[in-house]
Amino acid sequence: MNSTRWRLLAVSLSFMGWLASCSLLGGEASPEPLFSVPATFPQPTYDLSKNPITSDGVALGKQLFFDGILSRDGSISCGECHNQSHAFTHHGHGFSHGIDNQEGTRNAPPLINLAWQDSFFWDGGVFDLDLFSIAPIENPLEMDDKIGNVLQKLRTSKEYPKLFKKAYGTEEITTERFLKALSQFMLTLVSANSKYDQFLAGKAQLTADETAGLQLFKDKGCAKCHSGALFTDHSFRSNGLLPEYTGDLGRYRITENDADKNKFKVPTLRNIEVTYPYMHDARFFNLEAVLKFYAEGVKETGSLDPLLKQNGRLGIPMTADEQQKIIAFLKTLTDQEFLTNPRFAAP
Amino acid sequence: MKKSFLFSALMALTVSFIFVSCTKEEEIGPNDKNSLSIEFDNYVGGEKLVLGSKSYKNSLGEDFTVSTLNYFVSNFSLKKADGTEVKFPNQYFLIRQADTKTLTVTLPDVPAGDYTSMSYMIGVDSLKSISDVAQRTGVLDPASYGTDNMYWSWNSGYIFFKMEGISSAATTATKLFQFHIGGFGGRTSVTANNLRTVTTSFGTTTAQVRKNIAPTVHVVTDVLQTFSQGTSIAKTSVMMNPAASKPFADGYAKMFKVEHIHNDKM
């Protein structure tokens, strides 16, 4: 009885091993899907039916993303200011240097989980990912070209007509095809495998400090704006920053509604450890400065979010120790697999 | 004698009446259609607009030249005397003073009939303004503008109306004034809406669409009207914020008049 059991187990184990090795050797393991909705995420906002994601579409989008041909003088690609190792922000830059070394006016936001975002830029001025890429390409401080001219350059290039044919069936290069290929690549930039995600799936343990930080993150109200699996509610809020550095009034620029002055989009906190510096104007270089600001630096901006002035006190009361623990938790949102996945790497 | 004259006169009238009504019925078959063109002839006051160095003066006494004048027209609709209306959705035209062939827009397949008024929108309606990029072709293709841009990439939407030139009243260093008017009302938040609909009666005449008549409606504009609702170059030399552009939009809503209609047989 006992020995039969052991034999059965041995047989089934070796069978499993054979299956595994076979699939590995045969290369028939189902490839990582191009795009999938992580179990803890809601349904995407982006309408995938209008732009079905294909491997050739993503490959084209990736090629475009990392190609300086999208800029006036060929010097600036999307990847110039959106580096994978920093969750597609500009590694350590407050403001990115665009064409002719000109400096932009806002901190480059991360490109992660864009399929769940319903507006783009710190002020939400663009409402469709497919329309997004026109802005940096035509911004005189960034890539300073014209979409029409970029398409013309692609049409006369050696390789792009072939890549468009692979992705779309014909060599025709249109605005729609161009923008949707870029979207396809950007949509695949899904980050959902941080230590915290592994903890939720029962595959990792949080340290005592991280656990305490997670609890504080909820108790102190951080999670009210940085909510859900995406760590943002996509709203526009004033978090107590006066426009003293760049004069940027945020959402007001789009709505021209006084109540929106000093409001900016709540950013995701996923991979926050590597997306420094912080805030739209990059005024804080590390997370310690950010937490300290929320504890003692919040100012009345005229539109300050009510969550940041509870009981007649500005900001969120937090001790230095509590701030450290929240930071420990925030660092569990770093997704090493995403930051190093060769699928997203510059060619 | 007198009696017979009256009789023959009456007879002649009756016959001609029958004749007229007969030909009318013969003229319009149920499936007859033709195109109708609208020609936009841009004027400043009583003077034909010339781009470049020619100087004009607005009602505030501000001198100005016009280097660029572009505007979108869309959502045309033609109305008959009995109130029935023919609409032309999903047709967008960009009038560019610098390009003569854009000054005439043609509506195809207009059912034969006598039309007494016309309405159209200045700008690109909100539905189209939030539509998928697949629907942005022709004059709505952001790649089609070159350096004469009619699309805001940073605040998704079209520039409905664009006028630029030089004015000694301008507060910019180069004396350049730039009026870029857009704003379709917003998608996620309510924002300024500078879409304007122009309705013009054809007065005593009609546009007679027949299978052998493709009428041309001649619209004469008066650019000075853009200043009639409070716009001043000295006050706002660079206008790119939709909320601040409302007076200008109210002004361009008043600048279009139907001058005459050609109903020439083909």
Assess contact for A194 and A333: CB atoms under 8 A: yes
Whether the per-residue pLDDT at B11 is higher than 70: the answer is: no
Whether the per-residue pLDDT at A15 is higher than 60: the answer is: no
Whether the per-residue pLDDT at A11 is higher than 60: the answer is: no
* Structure confidence at residue A24 (pLDDT): 42
A22 known ligand binder: no
Residue with tokens 């007198």: B2
* Structure confidence at residue B130 (pLDDT): 96
* Structure confidence at residue B9 (pLDDT): 56
Scanning every residue of chain B, which has its alpha carbon at the shortest distance from the alpha carbon of A144? B147
**Burial state string for B101-112 with b = 16 or more CB within 10 A and e = fewer than 16:** eebbbebeebbb
Q: Helix, strand, coil % (nearest 5) of chain A?
A: 45, 5, 50
* Token pair listed for B51: 């781009």
- Based on the fold, state whether residues A87 and A178 are members of the same structural domain: yes
Assess contact for A239 and A306: CB atoms under 8 A: no
- Distances from the Cα of A275 to the Cαs of A185, A237, B27, B168, B175, in angstroms? 20, 20, 73, 48, 43
Is A149 a domain residue? yes
Model confidence band, residue A30 (pLDDT cutoffs 50, 70, 90): low
Assess contact for A345 and A302: CB atoms under 8 A: no
Is A31 a domain residue? no
What value does the mean pLDDT take over residues A136-153?
94
Beta carbons of A146 and B192 less than 8 Å apart: no
**Who's near A2: CB < 8 A, 6+ residues apart?**
none
What is the predicted ipTM? 0.84
* Token pair listed for B209: 């669409």
Is A5 a domain residue? no
d(Cα B92, Cα B122) in Å, to the nearest integer?
10
Assess contact for A98 and A104: CB atoms under 8 A: yes
* Structure confidence at residue A292 (pLDDT): 98
* Structure confidence at residue A92 (pLDDT): 80
Model confidence band, residue A27 (pLDDT cutoffs 50, 70, 90): very low
Bridge partners (DSSP) listed for residue B9: none
Q: Answer with the residue of higher pLDDT: A202 or A8.
A: A202
Whether the per-residue pLDDT at A209 is higher than 50: the answer is: yes
Domain stops at, among A140, A168, A190: A190
In 3D, which of B222, B221, B178, B228 has the Cα closest to residue B59? B228
By percentage, how much of chain A surpasses pLDDT 90? 83
Beta carbons of A138 and B242 less than 8 Å apart: no
* Structure confidence at residue B177 (pLDDT): 97
B141 close contact with A: CB closer than 8 A: yes
Q: Answer with the residue of higher pLDDT: A129 or A15.
A: A129
Angle at A312 between CA A311 and CA A317, to 5 degrees: 70
Model confidence band, residue A29 (pLDDT cutoffs 50, 70, 90): low
Model confidence band, residue B18 (pLDDT cutoffs 50, 70, 90): very low
Q: How many residues does chain B have?
A: 266
What value does the mean pLDDT take over residues A116-123?
95
Bridge partners (DSSP) listed for residue B157: B152
Whether the per-residue pLDDT at A14 is higher than 90: the answer is: no
Long-range contacts formed by B178-181: CB under 8 A, 24+ apart: B178/B237, B178/B238, B178/B239, B178/B240, B179/B226, B179/B231, B179/B239, B179/B245, B179/B248, B180/B152, B180/B239, B180/B240, B181/B239, B181/B242, B181/B245, B181/B248, B181/B249, B181/B252
- Based on the fold, state whether residues A95 and A209 are members of the same structural domain: no
> What DSSP state is assigned to residue B96?
E
Domain holding A332, by residue range, is: 195-337
Torsion angle, alpha carbons of A143, A144, A147, A150, to 10: -70
* Structure confidence at residue A265 (pLDDT): 97
B192 close contact with A: CB closer than 8 A: yes
Beta carbons of A134 and B130 less than 8 Å apart: no
Whether the per-residue pLDDT at B102 is higher than 50: the answer is: yes
- Based on the fold, state whether residues A155 and A208 are members of the same structural domain: no
Whether the per-residue pLDDT at B24 is higher than 90: the answer is: no
Q: How far, in whole angstroms, is CA B212 from its chain's centroid?
A: 24
In angstroms and rounded to an integer, the radius of gyration of the C-alpha atoms of chain B is 23
Assess contact for A58 and A185: CB atoms under 8 A: yes
Residue with tokens 């739209």: A280
* Structure confidence at residue A17 (pLDDT): 41
Whether the per-residue pLDDT at A134 is higher than 80: the answer is: yes
* Structure confidence at residue B12 (pLDDT): 54
**A69-83 pLDDT per residue, tens:** 999 999 999 999 999
* Structure confidence at residue A1 (pLDDT): 41
In 3D, which of A60, A97, A58, A100 has the Cα closest to residue A81? A97
* Token pair listed for A346: 């510059």
Comparing CB atoms, the residue among B149, B154, B190 nearest residue A135 is B154
Q: Which of B129, B133, B137, B141 is the best mutation test for A, with the most CBs of A within 10 A?
A: B133
* Structure confidence at residue B14 (pLDDT): 52
Using left for φ > 0, alpha for ψ between -120 and 50, and beta otherwise, residue A125 falls in: alpha
Domain stops at, among A190, A223, A243: A190
Is A36 a domain residue? no
Comparing CB atoms, the residue among A50, A125, A134 nearest residue B132 is A50
Model confidence band, residue A97 (pLDDT cutoffs 50, 70, 90): confident
- Based on the fold, state whether residues A221 and A98 are members of the same structural domain: no
* Token pair listed for B20: 């007229």
B147 contacts on A by Cβ (under 8 Å): 146
**B40-74 pLDDT per residue, tens:** 999 999 999 999 989 999 999 999 999 999 999 99
Q: Where are the domains of chain B?
A: 1-30, 32-262
Q: Which of A128, A142, A253 is the best mutation test for B, with the most CBs of B within 10 A?
A: A128
What value does the mean pLDDT take over residues B236-259?
95
pTM of structure:
0.88
* Structure confidence at residue B19 (pLDDT): 47
Model confidence band, residue A26 (pLDDT cutoffs 50, 70, 90): very low
Q: Which of A17-31, A326-340, B217-231 shows the lowest per-residue confidence on average (mean pLDDT)? A: A17-31
Q: Answer with the residue of higher pLDDT: A13 or A338.
A: A338
- Based on the fold, state whether residues A181 and A287 are members of the same structural domain: no
Domain stops at, among A161, A190, A219: A190
In 3D, which of A237, A225, A220 has the Cα closest to residue A291? A220
* Token pair listed for A117: 């975002």
* Structure confidence at residue A105 (pLDDT): 84
Whether the per-residue pLDDT at A295 is higher than 80: the answer is: yes
**Burial state string for B51-89 with b = 16 or more CB within 10 A and e = fewer than 16:** eeeeebebeeebebbbbbbbbbbbbbbbbbeeeeebebe
* Structure confidence at residue B143 (pLDDT): 96
d(Cα A335, Cα A66) in Å, to the nearest integer?
22
CATH number of the CATH domain containing A328: 1.10.760.10
Is A125 a domain residue? yes
What value does the mean pLDDT take over residues B77-81?
96
Assess contact for B66 and B164: CB atoms under 8 A: yes
Burial class (CB in 10 A: 0-12, 13-18, 19+), A158: exposed
Assess contact for B92 and B184: CB atoms under 8 A: no
* Token pair listed for B212: 């052998």
- Distances from the Cα of B19 to the Cαs of B16, B27, B64, B114, in angstroms? 5, 12, 56, 19
d(Cα A41, Cα A77) in Å, to the nearest integer?
30
Number of compact structural domains in chain A: 2
d(Cα A72, Cα A234) in Å, to the nearest integer?
33
Terminal Cα distance for chain A, rounded:
58
